[in-house]
Amino acid sequence: MHGRLKVRTTEEQAERKRLEREKKLKAYKYAMSECLLRIKNKQFDETGQKLSEQVLASNPDIQTLWNLRKKNVEFFEQSACEEDTIKILTEICLKKNPKSYPTWYHRQWCLLRSNSRKLGEKNENLNWKNELNLCSKFLNQDERNFHCWRHRFFVVAHGNLEKKNELEFTSDKISSNFSNYSSWHYRNKLIEELYYQNQIDNEIFKNELNLIENAVYTDPNDQSAWIYQKWLLLEHQKSIIKELVLDCKNREISIHFTKEIDLNKNFKFDENGWRLEEKIWKTGSNDDQSELNKLFENLTRSRHSKSSGFPIELLLDLNDEKNLYEFKSKFKMRDLTLDSEILSNHFGNMMELNQFENENSKWCMLKLVELMGIMDFDKYKENIFSYLDKLADQVDPYRKNYYLDIKCKLKENNS
Amino acid sequence: MESDKKLLIDKHIEFIVNYGKTHDQYEYEVSDYLRMSGLYWSVTFLDLVNSLEKFNKDDIVAYLKRNQHSSGGFSPCDGHDPHLLYSLSAVQIAIIYDVLHEIDCEKLIDYIVGLQKEDGSFAGDCWGEIDTRFSFCAVATLSFLNALNRIDQEKAISFVLSCMNYDGGFGCLPGTESHAGQIYCCVGFLSILNRLHMVNVDLLGWWLSERQLPSGGLNGRPEKLQDVCYSWWVIASLKMIGKLEWINTEKLKEYIVSCQDEETGGFSDRPGNMPDPFHTLFAFTGLSLIKAYPDMIKDVNPVFCMPQYVIDRAGLKPQLL
């Protein structure tokens, strides 16, 4: 029971309510036992449909009844029209409980079923856009309903809908309310995907920083945009390649990625060569520089691979044409986040905001610590430590140990 | 130490023991569809406060047996369909009572193995809904049955990791938003399979610690309200990755205690709301994990949400950082 206030009632009210409940209970028990009997006897009929509908309309979480309805649909090989009535029921149920797992799933099950039937009959596709409108409607009521967001991903994926329009949708959502972490989250997923597909370019990052700045100026205490900023500035500096092992003798390179990579997507190598941090290099026994360069040259000339699945470890045999592929986009992304002009501009703005907040804004201070760390740790060392101390002791003592741990770690890593 | 006096343990025990009898009958009957989990919440609570004898063990064993289907899975109550959620609850109850031999473990293993999909994910039942909650249910149940080797663990891990987000958290499916309940499931899953090193501990630990609000209570996602059950999802995850000290546990204790219903017993999500067994269990497991009333509440295991002595007796040692 979430968010249900305890209400006091008079005796008379209580008695009236009791009688009402008794009646409801009787009706529920009857309908339920009839449905369960049908499940037991594998008896699929109109009465089962009607009774399960009655019960679900006021108790949408009873999964077993949704299952009975699925069995009915399969048994009768129901037509698309009847499936629409099923969808109407799910809408009634979602109004009753917009967070009902089995109701959302039942709707998806019906959609997939009618989609495959329509495709089979070579009819026109389902109207996925209507389904998207339903999501927007429910998100208007509760913009953080993660069940509805999940349904939205499902609709966009299965309906093959335009991701750029979705990016627009998150822009609208965010500008109408900056405190919408769900939208920021979705935005992150969309940008990553569109970027890999070369549908958006580096301009987007400047744009994102502006959006973040607008949000945090509006409410510096709201976490949503600040966490998103951490992704934009920090997470992207991490290389996607964790370890690269060269075996010069056998002319093989094995690459370990930090996350799963879809090799079927457009993942390219920068013509200018590898732009990796020194420390992630690991060479084999024969690490002659000219030999390395030769290997890279080979790799630069290499073309697309046909490997499928989501490997996190990959072995490249440079003598084998079919293993060759391109890398590019991730490295461009890294270059942008390190653009010093954009970064120092952002840093200046955050300093200004912190001053405006009487040098006392938790999030400004935390972000300044992160930014100074990226820009020039040695130069800002003392400021970083003093901000962390202030956060721990005065501004945000609940998380004191976090700040102290981070301080320790920074000291160790930079000693 | 004033708050120590305020925890009304006897009232809470009474609330749980009488829940089906004194509570609104309609409300109770229409929650039939989750009864097996309700039973797990109540049994675990009673064991934690040394009152397991308040329930009749034979009745419970009979209930478990009656609800195991020919497929091997368990239904929440008589006549309903089996599901992974209730299969885990059933096994947790059986483990607490040490009566695993009373159920058909081989069939249950087959049921769970049959729900793993090609991409490593798990469906909740034969109708195919996928969710990382079900990945947790599957491996938690199989670890009690000593049958983790029966599934494709590497694929299962890949799937859960594909649900990791930029904030270090996890969603229910790839691409979906991080949520403390889901994080608990995914971190617990990785703990059982000994893969906690795949988690970005600093990032996730920080995000989780930001769930604590000025009231001391914890929310499940940024800019949401605090709720007693989230205190469990968040701190159990923090405990698994070794960062429990990143929040203020004294303030958390005050918040949890403020959610007890002093008239009827039981805990609600927030002060002044309706109490229920779900929030009552998670209030106590939360208090146990932060060692708030060590003399009154037994130690809880953060991965399985069951008394630690039970997990020791079962011989399980999930990974903790």
Query: Looking at the complex, does the CB of residue A199 fall below 8 Å from at least one CB of chain B?
Result: no
Chain B contact present for A24, CB below 8 A:
yes
Domain boundaries, chain A: 8-117, 241-332, 340-413
B175 reaches A (C-beta below 8 A): yes
pLDDT at residue A234 in the model: 67
- Which residue does chain A place closest to B277, by CA atoms? A1
* Contact A158/B at CB under 8 A: no
Interface test with A, best of B198, B210, B269 (most A CBs within 10 A): B210
Q: A224 contacts in B (CB within 8 Å)?
A: 222-223
Q: Tell me, what's the pLDDT at B168?
A: 92
Cβ separation B212–A398 shorter than 8 A:
yes
User: What's the gap between Cα A176 and its chain centre?
Assistant: 20
| Interchain CB distance below 8 Å, A2 and B175 | no
Give the pLDDT confidence score for residue B237 in this predicted structure.
98
Contact residues, B window 186-215, toward A, CB-based 8 Å cutoff? 202, 205-207, 209-210, 212
Q: Which of A259, A260, A270 is nearest to A308 (CA)?
A: A260
Buried b (16+ CB within 10 A) or exposed e, B185-218: bbbbbbbbbebbeebbebbbbbbbbbbbbebbbb
Nearest-CB residue to A29 (from B29, B221, B275): B29
Indicate yes or no: CB of A63 within 8 angstroms of CB of B178: no
Under DSSP, the state recorded for A241 is: E
* Nearest-by-CA chain B residue for A397: B248
Check residue B67 and give its pLDDT.
Answer: 98
Quick check: A194 and A167 in contact, CB under 8 A? Answer: yes
Which residues of chain B neighbour A22 with C-beta distances below 8 Å? 25-26
For tokens 């039939």, name the residue. Answer: B32
| pLDDT at res. A254 | 56
Rounded-to-10 torsion of CA A319, A323, A325, A331: -90
Whether chain B has a CB inside 8 Å of the CB on A412: the answer is no
Per-residue pLDDT 10s for chain B (321 aa) are 444 548 999 999 999 999 988 767 888 889 999 999 999 999 999 999 999 999 999 999 999 999 999 999 999 999 999 999 999 999 999 999 999 999 999 999 999 999 999 999 999 999 999 999 999 999 999 999 999 999 999 999 999 999 999 899 999 999 999 999 999 999 999 999 999 988 889 999 999 999 999 999 999 999 999 999 999 999 999 999 999 999 999 999 999 999 999 999 999 999 999 999 999 999 999 999 999 999 999 999 999 999 999 999 999 999 999
Instruction: Return d(Cα A269, Cα A325) in angstroms, integer.
Output: 8
Higher pLDDT, A268 or B317: B317
List pLDDT tens digits, range A355-398. Answer: 999 888 999 999 999 989 888 888 999 999 999 999 999 999 99
Contacts of B259 in chain A (CB under 8 A): none
Whether the CB of A64 is below 8 Å from some CB of chain B: the reply is yes
How far CA B119 is from CA of A142, A317, B155, in Å, comes to: 32, 27, 6
φ, ψ of residue A322 in degrees (nearest 5): -70, -10
Residue A245: predicted pLDDT: 54
Domains in chain B: boundaries = 9-314
With contacts defined as CB-CB under 8 Å, which chain A residues touch B265? Answer: none
**Interface membership of A222 toward B (CB under 8 Å):** yes
pLDDT confidence tier of residue A286, bands split at 50, 70 and 90:
very low
Q: What is the mean pLDDT of chain A?
A: 77
What residues of chain A lie within 8 A of the CB of B278, using their CB? 1
Of B75, B74, B89, the closest CA to residue B40 belongs to B89
Please say whether the structural domain B9-314 has been given the CATH code 3.40.50.10470: no
Instruction: Judge whether B70 is closer than 8 Å to chain A, CB to CB.
Output: no
Is B212 strand, coil or helix?
Answer: strand
Q: Which residue has the higher pLDDT, A196 or A311?
A: A196
Q: Could you give the CA distance from residue A197 to residue B70 in angstroms, rounded to a whole number?
A: 48
CB atoms within 10 A of CB B121: 23
- The answer to whether B272 contacts A5, with C-beta atoms less than 8 Å apart, is yes
Nearest by CB to B273, which of A3, A61, A105?
A3
pLDDT at B35 (0 to 100): 96
Q: Which of B172, B248, B274 sits opposite A4 (nearest CB)?
A: B274
- Other CB atoms within 10 A of residue B180 CB: 27
Q: Which residue of B has its CA nearest to A309?
A: B119
Report pLDDT for A270.
Answer: 35
SS in 3 state form for A301-367? CCCCCCCCCCCCEEEEECCCHHHCCCCCHHHHHHHHHCCHHHHHHHHHHHHHHHHHCCCCCHHHHHH
State the nearest Cα–Cα gap between B26 and chain A, in angstroms.
Answer: 5
3-state secondary structure of A77: coil
> Which residue of chain B is at minimal alpha-carbon distance from A398?
B248
* Residue of B31, B81, B321 for testing the chain A interface, max A β-carbons within 10 Å: B81
Range scoring the smallest mean pLDDT among A226-230, A284-288, B278-282: A284-288
CB-based contact A310 B80, cutoff 8 Å: no
How confident is the model over A9-51, as pLDDT tens digits?
788 888 888 888 889 999 999 999 999 999 999 998 889 989 9
Check whether domain A8-117 has CATH 3.40.390, yes or no = no
Inter-chain CB proximity A231 and B166 less than 8 Å? yes
Q: Is B298 on the interface with A (CB under 8 A)?
A: no
The residue in chain B having the minimum alpha-carbon distance to the alpha carbon of residue A104 is: B129
pTM exceeding 0.90? no
- Token pair listed for B176: 């979906």
Asked whether residue A220 carries a pLDDT value surpassing 80, the answer given is yes
Q: What is the pLDDT of residue A88?
A: 87
ipTM of the complex: 0.95
The mean pLDDT value for A253-266 works out to 48
